Every structure is written in structure tokens, then in C-alpha cells.
Structure 1
Amino acid sequence: MNSQHTDIAIIGAGPAGATMAALLADRGWHVTVLERSHFPRFAVGESLLPRCMDALDAAGMLHVVEDAGYQIKRGVTFTENDHDTSFTFDDQFTPGWSWTWQVLRADFDHRLALEAERRGATLRFGQTVESVDFTTPGAPRLAVVADDGTRTDLAARFVCDASGAARVLPRLLSLDRPGSAPSRGALFTHVTDRIDAPDYQRDRIVIGIHPEQPDVWYWLIGLAGGRASVGMIGPPEWIHGADGTPAERLRHFVGQEPRLARLLASADFDSRVGQTENYAYDIATLHGPDYALLGNAAGFVDPIFSSGVTIALESALRAVDPVDTQLRGAAVDWDAQFEAPIRAGQRVFTSFIGAWYRGALKHVLFNPAPDPAIRTMLSSILAGYVWDTDNPYVARPERRLDTLCRLCAPSS
């Protein structure tokens, strides 16, 4: 058993962990990042939101991805039964970025991690955190095992969990709590898309709704180099209802959505198809005496509005000052400075996710005569500006959205 010391241990080297590591290293702290996998590694969640650009810029990370050659993203197109509606980010309520990127996450995450290392953080890959002991205030200890079996007792002063869906601390500390979202499953992959259609705008993510199963939806995210991320979400029993391998089932279901079937008619499904189920979860608290949960480790509901990287970066930015202040010996109001704003952003996304799965939101999105002012407010939500409380759909998301959905509902 090796014994090591650090100021801050960060579990996970994804966008939240890398950003947090870089910013804390900038302030002179000894930061150790423990990542279970080896980078670069495959990940979905390729569709960023414009709010991510603000966060990357604020973290001094924007320059490390500017020359990556990622596909520009300027909006989103929703499609159902060959009827489309589009929202563009240059028409939004909140001042901010009018574009972002659709990234290859393996490359994007790796670049951010290397930047954290360049700025002074220690990155250790192939490391699994088996247990954490918070018995002694201000001195948590982590039991870590490497891929080669080497075991380390890591003493820290603070722990940040940026482990995503692995949610290491919530599982070790029993912080998981039942989520309210129904069980759903996903199939996903990367393809060589070979799309040659004049009506396809590669700078917009395409969200398709199944023509007969409204709680089943698809994504098509154009990537650079003729590649695309393709996936679908639906009830697990429905996804497993078709015969064949995951790849065969995904192609079968894609063929049932008219527009995606045409766009991907010549696509080469040349990568492994991944699948997951019951991916939604909630967390009882986002912080404790010597720890904080970042990004998806702090809770996740659904990928429909591409909120993952946005929440990850935002949580890292908002946790830096409290961690720095606490380690310097001053009092911190973690609820006000960190948990409340992160919960508020999650709440906005969750409100829209709920309206999507109730089938009510699509009547708003496909409204043939939308109010231009309201449309700009919705565009800002789709752009990730869910902390702008000047936007009525941020300030009171449930009440405002419920009213809007009722007004846009078709007459009986």
C-alpha cells in the first residue's frame, strides 16, 4: 500500500473534473485527478450548448479546443412525420454565444484533461476509487487501486466527485435517491453518415420523434469528417422488443423515423453500438463537509436537451471559489454558493424534460404561429442559458411552461 498526499482529489477527468483541476491548480493547490479509464475514450454527449462557450472561456479552456476542427452547431431541428421546426441560437433572449460545437468527445475530453495537466494538476489514469473515509474532518482518505493492482492510500483535504454516471461518492455514501423519471433505455453509436441531402443542415442537431411511439426519440449529431453520432431513447421493453443485436435493432428503429431513414439510408454503421438502461438518478445532497459533486455525479434525468456538459462545466466553475475559500480556513455557505444555483439549473432542464415526455412540449415547439418573444426565450433555454432569471421560463419554469403548453395544446 502506497501512501500519498494531495490538497484536492478529483474523481474523474471528464469536462467537470478537468476544468475543476485546472482552475484549482491555477490557485496554487496540489490537485490529483483519479480517472478509471484511459484517455482518449469513447463517450456520447457530443452536442454542446452555447452556454458551454462562456464556461470554457471563463475557465481559460476555450483556446485548447478552438483549433480542433469540430463541427459548428448553430441550432436544433425537431422533426416528426416529416414536419420540421428549427430553433437557431442567434435568435435568443439571453445575450450570449450564437453558436457552439458538435464535438468528438474522446478528443474534446482529452484536450481538456491535457490542459489541466499543463496547468499543474496531476492526472492518474486507470485508477479506481474503492472507498473514501471522511471520519477525520478536513482529512478525507481514499483507497485507490490501479489497473496493475497497485494500491494507494491517498490523503487529501477535499474531494470532488466528477465521475459522471459512475457517481462514486453517491454510491459509497448512500446519497442516491429514487428518481421520478420512468425507466428508459438508449442505443447509440457513431457512423460514417454519407448524407447528401440539400435539406440537411449539418450545423443543427436533429431530434426525431417516432411516428407511432411518441415517447421514443432519436438524435442525429453531425460531426466533422463525415461522421455522425446516432442514437435513440425509449422504454426498455420497447427497445428490446425487436430482434437482433444492438446494431441491428438500432438500424431497424432508425428506419422507422421518416427523415432519419432517408438521411442515413447510405450510412455505414461501422462502430460498436452501445446500450444503457435506467440512466436517470437523483442525489440527496451535492456537498458535504469535505466533498462536492460535479456534473452528472450530481444527478441526471435525460439527454434530450444536451445538458450534460453544460451542467458539468457550470458546476466546476461554481465550486472553485467555495473549495478555495474553505481550504484557506474561511467559512463557506455551500448551499447558497453552489448547491442552490446548480439545483436551479437542473430544475429548468427537468421541467422541459418532463413537458417533452408528457407530449405537451412538442405542441409548443411545432406551434405554427409562435409568439416571437416567447420563441427567443425558448431558444435561450435550448442554448443552455438556464441561469438567466430575467427569462421568465428560467425564473418560474414549471408554472410558465405549464401555462404555455396548455395554450398551445390542440383543440379537442
Structure 2
Amino acid sequence: MQDNKIYDVAIIGAGPSGAIAASILKQLGRDVIVVEKQHFPRFSIGESLLPHAMQFIEQAGLLDALINNASDMGFQFKNGAAFYRSGEHSAFDFEDKFSPGPGTTFQVKRANFDKLLADETAKKGVAIHYGVQVEQVAITDEMAALTVVDESGQTSEINAKFILDASGFGRVLPKLLDLELPSELFPRQAVFTHIKDNIPADANFDRNKILVTVHPEIEDLWYWLIPFSDGTASFGVVARPECFAEAELEQQLYDFIKQDDNLASLLADAEIIQPARKIGGYSSNVKQMYGDRFALLGNAGEFLDPVFSSGVTIAMRSAALAAELVDKQLSGETVDWSQDYQVALKKGIEVFKHFVMSWYDTSLQNIIFFQSDGSDIKPMISSILAGYAWDTNNPFVADTNRGLNILTQLCEAD
């Protein structure tokens, strides 16, 4: 890889945020290189996209490729989110929302989705190198240098004017630059797999929506069921670590299904088709999301929780925002990374964080199941569930804590 070239931008990671940033920068005329530790396709969770993410996919020039390949890749049209708790049903239609912008999206198999975005980015002329791991970073007033190692063990150096870390849970720069902080969120664990769901066509189930189910007895334990268009689905359980047993992961998933009446009925004939996986300690935070000649994108900076599927949307928004700011800086413009990037991005992240914390203390659960279809409040909540957590015209974005507190009191008074 050693070519003694100085790139405008080096990006660590070829996942959604890396592909979006690289494509936008390439459209802006920037010379970009991407290094990715793994090889695509590779399995990943975060399969239920939010409509707001479609704006960044379109901005990066990747929307046509997504739409044209959705059917062949088993991606499922998505128009909302459904919730179930001990006999209570609630559903949110993302097309009936407060904020402007797309109201539909897809539920995607991330192995295919990530590869599609990366391949389309490469077609634009972006060099993507797979099987390459970043070992060191050195930043000076003039340059940023990445020391990388390929699978043959060969070490080389990549020089760039700016680095974007899109390494996701790998959190390359936070580890190398000592930026990691513990998350404010309680540590949880997820066990998940893909299934052939075999849900009957006449079942009370909308394949166009993710189904989030609250455990009938453990209020902060929940399930996701994300259907795909080919009859398969992503299924997972999220809970405190002590809620999981020592049994094999597949058996634990089957046992949890039996504990909820609705899932037990829907998934009576479900078959696990991939080895179950487990991930814990995924919530993260950092001291800062930018520095001299670098910025952190998406999960490399802060990851909250999978409950509202916010991860990919935050990653893509951060990628689009950072790409635009990098282009300005490289053009000689003054960029205030604190206000224009970190503060701007954190506004929406904090909204999602309030929703996550309120979900686990059950106050948001009560609000979700309280909202009727005729409620004036429901479109405002729907907007945030659709990813529009930066729309300050929405009262629940402008003052999330106050809004949720008022709704909690209304629910308790009912």
C-alpha cells in the first residue's frame, strides 16, 4: 500500500458511515482512501434503518443502488414500528409524523447492505483496502499518519490531511488516542440470530414494521423482531447480563420466545438459520468527538442502545456532517468543530439518549402504549422514532425531558 501519496482524507472503516463519508467527499472532489479491517460481506446487527437515514444515502448518491437491489437482497420495505406488551399493542406509522422528510425506509441484511454501499462507493473511484488494520496514528500540525498492517504482515504508512474514524465498535482512534469514557447507560447484553420465521400469512403481524416486545415480567428486557422480504428475520433479546442463563445461546433464544404469548404464537415454527451471537458492553462514550486533523463518526464516538435503531442514522448523519466540514477546512475555511460538529451532533444524540433511558425506566413504554391513533402527540413521537431527533421544531426535540415528563404525568393520571 505504500505509495508516498498524501490523501485529502483517510477513513478507517468501510461500513455505512465510512461509505457515506467517502462518497460525499469524492463527490466534492476530494482524494479519499478507506481501510477496513474485515472483508465484506460480514455479519452485523443494526438492520432496521430509520427513514431519516435515507436522506444521507441519497446525498451520497447511493439511493438508486439501494432501491434497485432491495428486492434481490431480501430488504424489507419499512414504514413504522410496532410495540407489544402483555396484550397491549401500539404502532407508529412513520409517514404520519411531525417532521418533514422521508417516511419509509428498509429493513436490511447488513452483510449485503454494507457491501452494497461500499461497492458503490468504490465504483465512484474511492480506493477501499480490505484486511488492513490500523496499528498507530501520529498527528502533527501538517499531517496525520496511519501505520497499518495488512494480512500478509506488511506494515505501511498512509498520510492524509485529515482522518475520519468510521470503525464502529472497533473504536480505533478512541483507543489509540485515549479518548474512551464509560457510558452513562446501564450495561446490557444482546443475544441475537437470524431465523426463518415461518409466520403465517394470516397472523396479526405487519412485516413492514419492526416489532419491539416487552417481556411480560421483566420490564427492562425486550425483544426485537425485524422481518426481511424473503421470509427470514433478525431476532434478538436485550437485557441486563444477569438475565441470561448459562445455556447455549440458541436454547436461550427459544426459551425467551416461549415466555411471551405473542412471540410464542408468531414464532411457533421458527427455525434458527445462523449461529446465535452475543454482544455486551456496547454502549460507549468519548471525551471528545474531534481533534486536530480527526473526527469520530457514529459508533466510534458514542453508541447508545439498539432499542430505537438509532445507531446507523447517527452514524450516517455524523458522516455527512463531518464530510462537509472537512471539505470546508481543506478549502481554507475556518471550521468550528466544537459547535458545528460535536454540539450539533450531540443535540440529536441527547434526544435519543432521553428516549433510551425513559424506555428502560418504563416511563416511555407507558407513553408509547398510551398514545391513541388520534393523538396530537403521536406524530411528534413518531418523528423521533423515525430518526428526526434534530428537528428543533418538534417540541419533544426542543425540550425532550420536559415533554416526556408531561406525558408521563398524563399517563399516570389516566
Q: TM-score range by the shorter chain?
A: over 0.9
Whole-Å Cα distance in 2 between the matches of residues 46 and 61 of structure 1?
17
Structure 2, unmatched stretches of 5+, are none
What SS does structure 1 have at the residue aligned with 2:68? coil
Q: CA RMSD in A?
A: 1.4
2:185 matched to which residue of 1? 181
Whole-Å Cα distance in 1 between the matches of residues 181 and 303 of structure 2?
12
Which residue identity does 2:223 align to in structure 1? Answer: Y
1:118 matched to which residue of 2? 123
Indicate which of 133, 148, 154 corresponds to 1:150: 154
Whole-Å Cα distance in 2 between the matches of residues 13 and 142 of structure 1?
16
2:320 matched to which residue of 1? 317
Contact in 2 for aligned 1:138/1:290 (Cα 8 Å): no
Whole-Å Cα distance in 1 between the matches of residues 310 and 374 of structure 2?
25
Whole-Å Cα distance in 1 between the matches of residues 324 and 102 of structure 2?
25
What SS does structure 1 have at the residue aligned with 2:362? coil
Alignment of 1:255-334 (within 5 A): 255-334=258-337
Whole-Å Cα distance in 1 between the matches of residues 185 and 249 of structure 2?
24
2:87 matched to which residue of 1? 82
Which residue identity does 1:123 align to in structure 2? Answer: I
Contact in 2 for aligned 1:3/1:155 (Cα 8 Å): no
Which residue identity does 2:145 align to in structure 1? Answer: R
1:14 and 2:15 matched: yes
Structure 1 residues 380 and 2: alpha-carbon distance in aligned structure 2, compared to 1, 3 A threshold:
same
2:112 matched to which residue of 1? 107
Whole-Å Cα distance in 2 between the matches of residues 238 and 97 of structure 1?
38
What SS does structure 1 have at the residue aligned with 2:26? helix
Whole-Å Cα distance in 2 between the matches of residues 82 and 28 of structure 1?
55
Structure 1 residues 397 and 82: alpha-carbon distance in aligned structure 2, compared to 1, 3 A threshold:
same
Structure 1 residues 2 and 98: alpha-carbon distance in aligned structure 2, compared to 1, 3 A threshold:
closer
Which residue identity does 2:335 align to in structure 1? Answer: V
Contact in 2 for aligned 1:363/1:410 (Cα 8 Å): no
Contact in 2 for aligned 1:138/1:158 (Cα 8 Å): no
Structure 1 residues 280 and 368: alpha-carbon distance in aligned structure 2, compared to 1, 3 A threshold:
closer
1:348 and 2:337 matched: no
Residue 243 of structure 1 deviates from its aligned partner by: 3.9
Residue 265 of structure 1 deviates from its aligned partner by: 1.1
Whole-Å Cα distance in 2 between the matches of residues 409 and 183 of structure 1?
28
Alignment of 1:189-268 (within 5 A): 189-196=193-200, 197-239=202-244, 242-268=245-271
Alignment of 1:162-173 (within 5 A): 162-173=166-177
Whole-Å Cα distance in 2 between the matches of residues 119 and 397 of structure 1?
40
Structure 1, unmatched stretches of 5+, are none
Indicate which of 357, 360, 364 corresponds to 1:357: 360
Which residue identity does 1:356 align to in structure 2? Answer: W
Which residue identity does 1:138 align to in structure 2? Answer: E
Whole-Å Cα distance in 2 between the matches of residues 382 and 121 of structure 1?
33
Whole-Å Cα distance in 1 between the matches of residues 368 and 374 of structure 2?
11
Bigger mean CA offset, 396-405 vs 198-207: 396-405
Contact in 1 for aligned 2:372/2:378 (Cα 8 Å): no
What SS does structure 2 have at the residue aligned with 1:132? strand
Whole-Å Cα distance in 2 between the matches of residues 368 and 302 of structure 1?
23
Q: Deviations over 1:167-186 (max 9, x none)?
A: 11011111111211111000
Bigger mean CA offset, 20-29 vs 7-16: 20-29
Residue 257 of structure 1 deviates from its aligned partner by: 1.7
Whole-Å Cα distance in 2 between the matches of residues 352 and 21 of structure 1?
31
Contact in 2 for aligned 1:8/1:158 (Cα 8 Å): yes
Bigger mean CA offset, 296-305 vs 333-342: 333-342
What SS does structure 2 have at the residue aligned with 1:275? strand
Residue 369 of structure 1 deviates from its aligned partner by: 5.1
Residue 335 of structure 1 deviates from its aligned partner by: 1.8
Which residue identity does 2:393 align to in structure 1? Answer: D
Q: Percent identity?
A: 41
Residue 330 of structure 1 deviates from its aligned partner by: 2.5
Contact in 2 for aligned 1:161/1:168 (Cα 8 Å): yes
2:390 matched to which residue of 1? 387
Contact in 1 for aligned 2:203/2:266 (Cα 8 Å): no
Whole-Å Cα distance in 1 between the matches of residues 102 and 61 of structure 2?
16
What TM-score do you get using the length of structure 1 for normalisation? Answer: 0.96
Whole-Å Cα distance in 2 between the matches of residues 57 and 25 of structure 1?
14
Contact in 2 for aligned 1:75/1:86 (Cα 8 Å): yes
How many residues are paired up?
408
Whole-Å Cα distance in 1 between the matches of residues 327 and 372 of structure 2?
50
Superposition misfits of 4+ residues, deviation over 3 angstroms: 1-4, 368-371
Whole-Å Cα distance in 1 between the matches of residues 98 and 264 of structure 2?
34
What SS does structure 2 have at the residue aligned with 1:34? strand
Whole-Å Cα distance in 1 between the matches of residues 33 and 194 of structure 2?
32
Residue 293 of structure 1 deviates from its aligned partner by: 0.6
Which residue identity does 1:18 align to in structure 2? Answer: A
Which residue identity does 2:397 align to in structure 1? Answer: V
Indicate which of 356, 371, 376 corresponds to 1:373: 376
Contact in 1 for aligned 2:347/2:390 (Cα 8 Å): yes
Structure 1 residues 260 and 324: alpha-carbon distance in aligned structure 2, compared to 1, 3 A threshold:
same
Residue 407 of structure 1 deviates from its aligned partner by: 2.0
Contact in 2 for aligned 1:21/1:31 (Cα 8 Å): yes
Residue 198 of structure 1 deviates from its aligned partner by: 2.6
Whole-Å Cα distance in 2 between the matches of residues 173 and 3 of structure 1?
25
What SS does structure 2 have at the residue aligned with 1:373? coil
Residue 368 of structure 1 deviates from its aligned partner by: 6.0
Residue 359 of structure 1 deviates from its aligned partner by: 0.8
Whole-Å Cα distance in 1 between the matches of residues 162 and 78 of structure 2?
37
Whole-Å Cα distance in 2 between the matches of residues 307 and 232 of structure 1?
17
